[in-house]
A and B are shown apart, each in its own frame.
Chain A
Amino acid sequence: MRFYTFVLKNILRRRVRSALTVIGMAVAVGAVVALVGISRGFERSFLAIYQREKVDLIIQQRGVKQKLTSVLDAGLGKKIAEVPGVKTVNSGLVDFTSMDELGPVGVLVQGWEVDSPMMRHLNILTGGRPLEASDKNCLLLGERLALSLDKKVGDTLKVFDDATYTVRGIFKSNTVYENGGMVVPLADLQRFMGRRGQVSGFTVTVDQPDHKAEVERIRHAIEALGKNLEVTPTIDFVNSTQEIVFIRAMAWITSAVALVIGAVGMLNTMVMSVFERTREIGILRAIGWGRWRVIRMILMESMVLSLAGGAVGAAGAVLLTRVLSNQPAVSGMIDSYVAPDVIAQGFLIALCVGLLGAAYPAYRGAQLLPTEALRHE
């Protein structure tokens, strides 16, 4: 018999104890991977909203860090388009509304001009079509929202308290916020929200986006159009948006809490399972084993158990995220993707904490005199 065979037999033939240890580790690893994965998902979705359009500059009201509270005069769009070097100008109004079917969860509503390029670039699923100027009381639903509301193209639904709208199309976006939201004509949103002539902001593309000095010049030219204008390159904008800062902080805190809870759980599982073996350590010492062989055996065992726990936990977390993200209450808020580095991180923590948790009681047990260890119950 080889030493590692002995270690494996120790694990495989003590099924109940090994299973309990693996489950304990798996729950902790799963919690870490799921929580970190979900909070990262929030952050990722939010970033994607801004990055999808590949816009170069974002124009908002000065001093307002939150897109939702920015208010600008819609007429500004024409002046911006006249700035030399500007290729396209899009305006939009973003707001939230609530729907009886969804309880207290707010739904993101984007108001777009029907002839805007954003409308044209929208990925409409078969059976539907983008909004047109001739449409009256029509809207587009994000894929997930359509699923939550159980609406198809051609169905009607009540929005903005009690206006009846017809679903013209269902679109798929790569951001969960949009997938869980809807698109209506800009004018409708302005009317229902009592925000006539207002937009949340403009997005601008330029002719030469790689020409830094040119982009800077356009930026200043646009800023000069009004006192209250803030023009930000997309990257800076995304990084300074209050939502992003907030969501990053949330993600960080959630992950940190998950890590602490997970690590304590793993430590507890491992320490208990090794402490239980003090007597066995006494026997092994009495029949001739040195301290280091005992410690080596236990570390090898806990390494296998930690990795098994990590695998089960990570798989469980991926499944859980998938199931949770399909629940109507959260649809549109969580995406089901767990990044590989989050999984790897879960494994690494399981391995480190598992070994650490095993090393302490193993070392303690091995330091005891064999008679003391044998007396242990």
Chain B
Amino acid sequence: MNKPKHDPFLFRTEQLCKLYPDGQVHAVEDVNITVRRGEYVAIMGPSGSGKSTLLNLLGALDRPTSGEVYIDGMRLSKVRNVDRLRSRMLGFVFQSFHLLPILTAVENVQVPMFEGRLSASARIARAKELLDLVGLGHRIHHMPQKLSVGERQRVAIARALANEPIALLADEPTGNLDSVAAEGIFELFARLHREEGMTIVLITHDEELGRRAQRLVRMQDGHIKSDVFSARRRLRTPLPPFAV
């Protein structure tokens, strides 16, 4: 793959645009953003400002109308197997969890692993480990509908971690949760960032929770309105605050 030697950025976009033809809406317009490895970025903004669109473009779930996304230096439009890149490098967490209702927690976590190299028994062991990590070691054989929504989102996060991704992308992961469960999920993200060095890009509508991220990107009308590196967190990471 076309990987330049020293791209310091995990995500980088160039004049990224997404135009939905039906409404002539510029959901994302001329966005240039970079995310370094190990960064924890929260995206906020009013409804319809293009947050989800941007996140989907960063995660190669969608194709831009124009502009370019680079992941770890690889130009997405030139990557032949985007599926493989996605499965090896990225983990997704959705607002409505998107767990498979027919599978238990430990089975759900194993689903992405079919694309990996683990044996069947190693898959189970790893899934159990991950459920332990997200604090659900005691609920591994529960069906999603028998779990609380907060627990479901934990299962979804464990699943996102299944193939040891470099980055987690989460679209309003606490949108369906009450404040206590939301608090727990944000603690989990913070821990994954701090202890596992996970790169995290998440969307939230909650000011208080958003401010806990290392960096807060605000969007409006498809543009980035502000991009602020939180002073509180700066001390903990040796990375430069602004990357353009």
Contacts and interface: CB of A to CB of B under 8 A. Distances in A.
A192 interface: no
B92 A3 contact: no
Contacts, number: 73
Interface in A332-377: 369-371, 374
Nearest to A289: B115
Interface residues of B, number: 32
B100 A286 contact: no
B84 A290 contact: yes
Nearest to A283: B98
B63 to A, nearest CB: 6
A284 B120 contact: no
Given A1-B110, A6-B111, A14-B102, A288 B163 contact: yes
A289 B87 CA distance: 7
Contacts of A10: 102
B231 to A, nearest CB: 35
Nearest to A284: B111
Contact of B120 (A1, A14, A286, A290): A1
B242 interface: no
Interface of A is mostly: helix
A323 interface: no
Given A287-B111, A289-B112, A290-B87, 13 more contacts: A2-B120, A3-B114, A6-B111, A9-B103, A13-B103, A280-B100, A286-B59, A288-B112, A289-B87, A289-B111, A293-B115, A369-B63, A374-B61
Interface of A: 1-3, 6, 9-10, 13-14, 280, 283-291, 293, 369-371, 374
30 contacts: A3-B114, A6-B103, A6-B111, A9-B107, A10-B102, A280-B100, A283-B100, A284-B111, A285-B61, A285-B83, A286-B92, A287-B91, A287-B98, A287-B160, A288-B83, A288-B91, A288-B112, A289-B87, A289-B115, A290-B81, A290-B83, A290-B115, A291-B83, A293-B114, A293-B115, A369-B61, A369-B62, A369-B63, A370-B61, A371-B62
